[in-house]
């Protein structure tokens, strides 16, 4: 399809196209925006984790000078939520508040201080109720948001066939995104009654839909512009109360209204990692073959639905994409608690089970006396295969990833050979490259790109995608530049503006490079085809002899014959009219047809392997990370510089989760957040960050643009279990929960660690699904079908999931 030798832009480590404005402070984030006559908004939030609102008295607040408009729950009657099944939040709460920080009233004033003073002057009579602050308590109370049970094959038979059975309980603490840019939004009413909302959001399209719904306006009267995000990590992929509130205030006052949240408020709107209690039972044969796996997860969901249904299914979905598992069963439930709602954070629902599996494999390897790297390599899922839960794996570079980190780290000379206190640990992971389904039921493309060529040679690219710092703007520019033969920095990008750009579903589930990239290839290919036709006519040679490169069209056979790109555009415009083309992408249909099969399918899967070296101080329990080696199967690195940045960022975040980050609450004191600030919520500083050696494995995937797969999330997955395995290698204690606080390490060393137990839990309903090998529908799947074309546009809905329970998303 593409001749790698001919690539001029793809695969080159170029600086991001928007690096200069980002680095010089010139980029306008939502908080930088100001408009004439703009009002400022502050939100009054619940001081209690669980309470009923008896009476709201606004008389004092109304008297604060400068106050223009006050909203309460009475001003909103339509609920919202990111998933169609979880429309359970109101912009402002009217009756019941379910977490500390839940929005109750909004105040628009001439200046920020007056809005703040007005919020302070509100007086509310609450009836305080005892909150439920733990998984165990909520399970007892029956506060189950959603449960799921799926069995593929027959696990009991699998356990009978195994030689050894391993069983353990694991706990993964909740943690938050900590994007540096605090959420902000500015709503601007147009004189014609329309409304524009600027917001730091990862999902302008879903925000657009939700505003239309909650404000009861046709979408055509609302314009959403996603301002550049200063980091997202999944924390800006819900629609939030403040976005709806400022929009309503702008409509009611006729003035622009802006809100900039404080760091503390962001800890409350959260939607981060679900604290997850897990139970894992694995049956293995003597050679390490996994004949059976039974996994249970209980997720602490916080107060509202958010992406929770998807998060729950994700804890059970991707176990199968790394190592062959013959029979597999997943049971899980997401519980409501009276805490800030959880949702998608980098890795969405998959770092928790990955933590459990990768530690358990370390234990299996030890028992069977097989090197952990060898054990994994022996049982890898094959490329172009189908997993027991019907996920189609295309390219699969995990074996090469393992080889790289084993070699780079000197694993063979270190594992079980370093002096007491020092150790190495290995773990792997796999992640989706975009979800197979959108979050609301529709047969439309997931991503579209529009290209307009100017007579002067300018190339404008329009796309709904939003760069949240991951580099998707550069990816888009590079893909188009490659095909049109111009420089990436020459390209004008117009992104994430619902009035001007075709829809892209958003920056979540690691979908942008694959989906936007494919749509961009299609649009650019159509454009260059028009140019080639026009030039071929002028030169009287066939189109395939024409090549676009360095801003010129060349005759391949006679490179002296060339003309400027702008001339080519003019020739095409004269012949066809304005040169405007479009491209769209819809993921291929997934073979799974069972209820719940909507979560997990993806056009491709990325793979990573990591070795972490630690030094543990046995006297204090303090863990120093000495070095991290990580290999990531990226398919094809469109921009290696960006890719390495994403890998290192994932390592950074994974180490934070492994060692210190935790979003925890004080049950004894009204359920307040323990540390809602960046000094007390601990994440690594540059002094704590070890050296990271990154290896990129390029095993091109037929579904990826130029073979590219994701990198934004996957490389986080191996880190926490690799740290835990390294700690075991260093001091011989197995710790099956994170964060690995020094207290825990010391306790474990003294054999005093409290043992976690898993409450009795069985999914009320378990759907039994025959294995693909036993199923009549999938036996038809030939390898041709598995290797679907990269630009295939498939518009049919692709799963048995009814619209009411569709949930196929990730952070």
Partner 1 sequence: MIRLPEFRYYRPKTLKEAVKILNSEGEKAVIVAGGTDLFPNMKRRIQTPSVLVSLQQVKELHRKISYTKINGDQEKRLVIPSGLTLSEVCENRLIRENYPFISKTTSSIATPLIRSMGTIGGNLCLDTRCTYYNQSLEWRESVDFCMKAPEGKLDIPCRVAPGSPRCVAANSSDTAPLFCALEAEFHIVSQEGERTIKPAEFYREDGEFYLNKKAEEILSEITLPSSENLHAVYLKLRRRGSFDFPVLGAAAVLKMTGQKVKEAKIFLNAVSSAPIEVLESEKALIGTELEEEKILEAAESARQSAKPFDNTDFYPHWRKEMVGVLLKRALLELKSRKT
Cβ–Cβ under 8 Å, residues 365 and 288:
yes
Encoded one letter per residue, x for contact with partner 1 by CB under 8 A and - for no contact, window 608-647 reads -----------xxx--------------------------
Residue placing its CB nearer to partner 1 in the complex, 124 or 801: 124
Q: Which residues contact 397 (CB under 8 A, 6 or more apart)?
A: 607, 633, 635, 697, 698, 699
How many residues sit in the footprint of partner 1 (CB under 8 A)?
36
Rounded distance between C-alpha atoms, residue 121 and residue 107, angstroms: 11
Q: Which one among 97, 207, 515, 660 touches partner 1, defined by CB under 8 A? A: 660
Encoded one letter per residue, x for contact with partner 1 by CB under 8 A and - for no contact, window 179-218 reads ---x------------------------------------
Residue placing its CB nearer to partner 1 in the complex, 449 or 623: 623
Residue placing its CB nearer to partner 1 in the complex, 199 or 470: 199
Q: Which one among 13, 163, 669, 777 touches partner 1, defined by CB under 8 A? A: 669
**Of residues 329-388, which lie at the interface with partner 1 (CB under 8 A)?**
none
* Backbone dihedral region for residue 62 (phi beyond 0: left; psi -120 to 50: alpha; all else: beta): alpha
Two structure tokens written together for 488: 């990436």
Least separation in angstroms between CB 766 and partner 1: 40
Encoded one letter per residue, x for contact with partner 1 by CB under 8 A and - for no contact, window 275-294 reads --------------------
Q: Which one among 296, 348, 379, 741 touches partner 1, defined by CB under 8 A? A: 741
Q: Which residues contact 24 (CB under 8 A, 6 or more apart)?
A: none
Q: Which one among 743, 764, 779, 803 touches partner 1, defined by CB under 8 A? A: 743
Q: Which of these, 602, 548, 592, 605, lies nearest to 571 by C-alpha position? A: 548
Residue placing its CB nearer to partner 1 in the complex, 301 or 676: 676
SS3 string of 266-314? Answer: HHHHCCCCCCEEEEEEEEECCCCCEEEEEEEEEEECCCCCCCHHHHHHH
**Please, which residues bridge with residue 284 across strands?**
164, 290
Least separation in angstroms between CB 113 and partner 1: 7
3-state secondary structure of 582: strand
Least separation in angstroms between CB 262 and partner 1: 5
**Integer CA distances (angstroms), 157 to 152, 153, 193, 689, in order:** 12, 9, 65, 46
Burial 606-633 (b: 16+ CB within 10 A, else e): bbbbbbbbbbbeeeebebebeebbbbbb
Cβ–Cβ under 8 Å, residues 606 and 635:
yes
Residue placing its CB nearer to partner 1 in the complex, 197 or 623: 623
Which range binds partner 1 by CB under 8 A, 22-30, 693-701, 736-744, 790-798?
736-744
Residue placing its CB nearer to partner 1 in the complex, 217 or 675: 675
Residue with tokens 């030939």: 782
Rounded distance between C-alpha atoms, residue 242 and residue 225, angstroms: 15
Least separation in angstroms between CB 661 and partner 1: 11
Rounded distance between C-alpha atoms, residue 802 and residue 808, angstroms: 12
Q: Which residues contact 664 (CB under 8 A, 6 or more apart)?
A: 173, 174, 673, 674, 675
The answer to whether 672 contacts partner 1 (rule: CB under 8 A) is yes
Least separation in angstroms between CB 744 and partner 1: 9
Which range binds partner 1 by CB under 8 A, 10-18, 40-48, 402-410, 704-712?
40-48
Rounded distance between C-alpha atoms, residue 139 and residue 153, angstroms: 28
Residue placing its CB nearer to partner 1 in the complex, 245 or 745: 745
Rounded distance between C-alpha atoms, residue 721 and residue 709, angstroms: 23
Residue placing its CB nearer to partner 1 in the complex, 495 or 625: 625
Q: Which one among 62, 416, 666, 768 touches partner 1, defined by CB under 8 A? A: 666
Burial of 194 (0-12, 13-18, 19+ CB in 10 A): middle
Least separation in angstroms between CB 719 and partner 1: 17
Two structure tokens written together for 489: 């920095």
Rounded distance between C-alpha atoms, residue 73 and residue 241, angstroms: 11
Residue placing its CB nearer to partner 1 in the complex, 44 or 594: 44
Two structure tokens written together for 730: 């260093």
Q: Which of these, 35, 445, 34, lies nearest to 205 by C-alpha position? A: 445
Tell me the residue length of the chain. 811
Least separation in angstroms between CB 466 and partner 1: 22
Sign of the CA dihedral running 207, 209, 215, 219? positive
Q: Which one among 92, 746, 748, 786 touches partner 1, defined by CB under 8 A? A: 746
Least separation in angstroms between CB 690 and partner 1: 11
The answer to whether 264 contacts partner 1 (rule: CB under 8 A) is yes
Two structure tokens written together for 73: 């729950």
**Of residues 781-810, which lie at the interface with partner 1 (CB under 8 A)?**
none
Q: Which of these, 323, 375, 318, lies nearest to 710 by C-alpha position? A: 318
Residue placing its CB nearer to partner 1 in the complex, 148 or 746: 746
**Of residues 675-694, which lie at the interface with partner 1 (CB under 8 A)?**
675-676, 679-680, 682, 684-688
Rounded distance between C-alpha atoms, residue 270 and residue 264, angstroms: 10
Encoded one letter per residue, x for contact with partner 1 by CB under 8 A and - for no contact, window 493-532 reads ----------------------------------------
Residue placing its CB nearer to partner 1 in the complex, 227 or 581: 227
Least separation in angstroms between CB 619 and partner 1: 5
Q: Which one among 32, 96, 112, 573 touches partner 1, defined by CB under 8 A? A: 112
Residue placing its CB nearer to partner 1 in the complex, 245 or 684: 684
The answer to whether 48 contacts partner 1 (rule: CB under 8 A) is yes
Q: Which one among 670, 761, 767, 792 touches partner 1, defined by CB under 8 A? A: 670
**Of residues 49-108, which lie at the interface with partner 1 (CB under 8 A)?**
100
Rounded distance between C-alpha atoms, residue 312 and residue 305, angstroms: 11
Residue placing its CB nearer to partner 1 in the complex, 96 or 593: 96
SS3 string of 496-528? Answer: CECCCCCCECCCCCCCHHHHHHHHHHHHHHHHH
The answer to whether 31 contacts partner 1 (rule: CB under 8 A) is yes
Which range binds partner 1 by CB under 8 A, 196-204, 505-513, 673-681, 698-706?
673-681
Rounded distance between C-alpha atoms, residue 86 and residue 639, angstroms: 38
Two structure tokens written together for 449: 């790109």
- Residue 721 parent element (H or E): helix 719-731
Which range binds partner 1 by CB under 8 A, 57-65, 331-339, 378-386, 737-745?
737-745
Q: Which one among 334, 345, 392, 673 touches partner 1, defined by CB under 8 A? A: 673
Residue placing its CB nearer to partner 1 in the complex, 41 or 325: 41
Whether cis (ω within 30° of 0) applies to the bond prior to 694 is no
Least separation in angstroms between CB 480 and partner 1: 37
Rounded distance between C-alpha atoms, residue 420 and residue 416, angstroms: 9
Encoded one letter per residue, x for contact with partner 1 by CB under 8 A and - for no contact, window 120-139 reads x-------------------
Cβ–Cβ under 8 Å, residues 485 and 565:
yes
Q: Which of these, 283, 345, 286, 356, lies nearest to 318 by C-alpha position? A: 356
Which range binds partner 1 by CB under 8 A, 4-12, 42-50, 386-394, 709-717?
42-50
Which range binds partner 1 by CB under 8 A, 134-142, 339-347, 672-680, 693-701?
672-680
Residues that bind partner 1 (CB under 8 A): 31, 45, 47-48, 100, 112-113, 120, 182, 260, 262, 264, 619-621, 660, 666, 669-670, 672-676, 679-680, 682, 684-688, 741-743, 746
């Amino acid at each position: 399809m593409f001749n790698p030798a001919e690539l001029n832009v793809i695969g080159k480590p170029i600086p991001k196209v928007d690096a200069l404005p980002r680095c010089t402070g010139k980029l306008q984030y939502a908080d930088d925006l100001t408009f004439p006559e703009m009002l400022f908004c502050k939100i009054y939030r619940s001081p209690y984790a669980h309470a009923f609102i008896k009476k709201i008295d606004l008389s004092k607040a109304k008297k604060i000078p400068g106050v223009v408009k006050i909203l309460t729950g009475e001003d909103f009657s339509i609920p919202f939520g990111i998933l169609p099944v979880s429309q359970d939040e109101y912009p402002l709460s009217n009756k019941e508040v379910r977490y500390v920080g839940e929005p109750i009233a909004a105040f628009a004033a001439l200046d920020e201080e007056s809005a703040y003073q007005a919020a302070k002057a509100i007086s509310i009579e609450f009836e305080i109720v005892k909150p439920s602050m733990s998984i165990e308590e909520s399970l007892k109370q029956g506060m189950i948001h959603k449960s799921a049970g799926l069995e593929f094959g027959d696990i009991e038979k699998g356990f009978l066939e195994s030689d050894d059975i391993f069983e353990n309980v694991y706990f993964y603490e909740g943690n938050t995104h900590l994007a540096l840019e605090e959420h902000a939004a500015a709503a601007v009413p147009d004189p014609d009654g329309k409304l524009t909302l600027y917001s730091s959001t990862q999902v302008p399209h879903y925000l657009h839909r939700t505003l239309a719904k909650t404000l009861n306006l046709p979408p055509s009267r609302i314009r959403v512009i996603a301002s550049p995000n200063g980091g997202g990590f999944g924390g800006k992929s819900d629609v939030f109360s403040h976005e709806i509130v400022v929009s309503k205030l702008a409509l009611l006052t006729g003035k622009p209204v802006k809100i900039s949240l404080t760091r503390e408020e962001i800890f409350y709107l959260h939607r981060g990692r679900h604290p997850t209690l897990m139970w894992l039972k694995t049956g293995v044969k003597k050679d390490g073959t996994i004949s059976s796996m039974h996994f249970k997860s209980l997720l602490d969901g916080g107060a509202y639905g958010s992406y929770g249904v998807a998060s729950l299914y994700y804890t059970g979905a991707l176990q199968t994409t790394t190592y062959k598992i013959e029979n597999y069963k997943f049971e899980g439930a997401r519980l409501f608690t009276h805490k800030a709602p959880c949702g998608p954070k980098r890795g969405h629902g998959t770092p928790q089970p990955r933590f459990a599996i990768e530690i358990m494999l370390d234990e299996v390897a030890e028992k069977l006396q097989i090197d952990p790297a060898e054990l994994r390599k022996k049982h890898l899922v094959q490329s172009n295969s189908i997993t027991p839960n019907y996920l189609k794996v295309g390219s699969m570079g995990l074996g090469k990833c393992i080889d790289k980190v084993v070699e780079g780290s000197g694993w063979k000379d270190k594992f079980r050979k370093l002096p007491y206190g020092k150790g190495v640990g290995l773990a792997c992971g796999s992640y989706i490259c975009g979800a197979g389904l959108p979050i609301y039921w529709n047969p439309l493309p997931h991503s579209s790109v529009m290209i307009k060529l100017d007579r002067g040679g300018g190339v404008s690219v329009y796309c709904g995608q939003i760069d949240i710092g991951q580099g998707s703007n550069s990816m888009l520019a590079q893909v188009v530049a490659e095909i049109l033969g111009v420089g990436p920095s020459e390209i004008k990008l117009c992104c994430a503006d619902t009035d001007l750009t075709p829809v892209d579903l958003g920056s979540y589930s690691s979908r942008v490079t694959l989906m936007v990239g494919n749509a961009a290839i299609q649009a650019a290919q159509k454009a260059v085809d028009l140019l080639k036709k026009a030039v071929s006519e002028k030169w009287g040679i066939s189109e395939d002899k024409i090549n676009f490169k360095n801003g010129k069209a060349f005759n391949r056979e006679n490179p002296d014959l060339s003309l400027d790109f702008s001339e080519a555009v003019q020739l095409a415009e004269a012949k066809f009219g304005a040169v405007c083309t479009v491209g769209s992408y819809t993921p291929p249909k997934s073979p799974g047809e069972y209820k719940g099969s909507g979560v997990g399918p993806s056009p491709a899967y990325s793979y990573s392997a990591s070795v972490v070296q630690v030094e543990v101080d046995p006297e204090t329990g303090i863990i120093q990370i000495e070095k991290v080696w990580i290999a990531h199967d990226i398919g094809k690195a469109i921009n290696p510089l960006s890719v390495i940045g994403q890998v290192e960022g994932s390592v950074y975040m994974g180490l934070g989760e492994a060692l210190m980050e935790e979003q925890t609450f004080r049950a004894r004191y009204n359920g307040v957040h323990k540390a809602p600030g960046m000094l007390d919520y601990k994440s690594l500083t540059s002094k704590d960050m070890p050296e990271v050696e990154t290896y990129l494995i390029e095993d091109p995937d037929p579904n990826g643009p130029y073979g590219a797969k994701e990198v934004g999330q996957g490389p986080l997955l191996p880190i926490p279990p690799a740290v835990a395995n390294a700690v075991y290698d260093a001091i011989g204690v197995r710790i099956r929960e994170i964060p690995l606080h020094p207290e825990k390490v010391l306790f474990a060393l003294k054999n005093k660690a409290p043992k976690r137990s898993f409450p009795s839990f069985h999914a009320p309903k378990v759907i039994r699904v025959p294995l693909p090998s036993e199923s009549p529908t999938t036996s038809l799947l030939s390898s041709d079908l598995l290797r679907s074309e990269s630009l295939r546009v498939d518009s049919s809905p692709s799963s048995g999931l009814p619209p009411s329970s569709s949930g196929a998303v990730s952070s």
